[in-house]
Structure 1
Amino acid sequence: MHHASLEDGRTVFVKRGGDFTAEANGLRWLGSPSVEVLEVGEDLLVLPWLPSETATVPMVEETARAVADMHRRGAPRFGADWPGNIADLPLDNSPAEGGWRDWYAERRVLPYARMARDRGVLSASDVREVEAALHRAEQPEEPPSRIHGDLWGGNVLYSQGRGWLIDPAAHGGHRETDLAMLVLFGTSHLEAFLKAYDETSPLAEGWRERIPLHQLHPLLVHCCLFGSSYRESMLAAARSV
């Protein structure tokens, strides 16, 4: 990763040494409040250089309203038209039969539960607990929203008086997923963000009780990436569904 200057005087952030196609597709597809993609190549991604600032409550509230607007722009289906990734793991964006709950189970939760089992992080019994949670889960269906997909606090960059979204795992999904991710790992002035979001785009009753369902995927991803230190948190979420 590099801080560089262009001949026209602009300063940019350059990521090198990987395939950034999915990231660039996601940023362009999400639109505002995501950062602009200036250039993407075979092994580089060029973004504007945005010096970070301390988030204030007004900045957080404005960002929450922008995220709500992004969600409302919607998506043609659950998933995306490109293969995705989250951290170093592949992310299956292909369609699935049924509504969001079936798609979420088949494309987001179960593949990573099985991967964690195969890596020795979860037991067969643990995977059955995840499957049982999905079986009993209740989630009001909504049309697909245009979601970031990896919206923890580190992927909201505050600069130039506002928040910018970076490093997405973008796809058509359920908007509660983005909010559950913020709750899981925290962000600046979280309650102000959630309040401003709900005022802009009211959430279905009981959304806070459904947070553990939406946290299953990121917790399983962390089990796959970082091992057994996330196992108990994942099982607690499964048992809370």
Structure 2
Amino acid sequence: MHSTSRLLTATAAALVATAVPLGAGSAAEEPAVPPWPPASTHGAFLPVPAEFYEPQTVPACGSELTLTGGDVREGQYRSLVTEEGDTVVEYRGTDTVDITRASDGATLDEFDVSGTGFETYSADGTTVTLDFEGPSLVVALDEVEAAAFAEAGLPEAFVHLDGTLAGTFVFGAPTDAQPEVPTTVSVDVTENTAEYVFDLCDLLDQAGAAQDGT
């Protein structure tokens, strides 16, 4: 589940994008979830686990963000295992997410994170490739990810309403072998055609100001 948390809401499963989705650092808090990547579904789409929609807290925007599945929870996935032992997980469906910043209570309700996409897990569990379309929400949860996003001209946390964002994440240990996310070794943004990109921290600032009536 660790790479899904990286793109925390970038996936159609809503609670990545993430991105982002997509498109996570060891500081991220994750609820208990079924083993991930999942076993082959033999071509059938299944509803994403209910745990995907539980609140998750991630460090971002100078504070902590809590992301919770919104009112729309129609995400589906299917999983296929290649002859080489890699696992490809495909997402589709419609989902929304609610986002709250701890420092000021700024809230964004019912953000659409229905972008379709794929996660590919290497057989040894140390490399994950993510490829998602908008609308997606992506959060960099460690300095390595943030630096890779900055090099690609992207904020540390953002939404993109259209286009595609793809990247390869390499970890220092298998992602499914420990309770916390392993150290990120490298991140390579391989495709960035994201359009209508909005800095999530700016959106929360605006929401906070509106809530305060200023």
Shorter-chain TM-score: what band? Answer: under 0.3
Larger helix fraction of residues: 1
The structure that has the greater radius of gyration is 1
Larger strand fraction of residues: 2
TM-score normalised by structure 1 residue count? 0.25
TM-score normalised by structure 2 residue count? 0.28
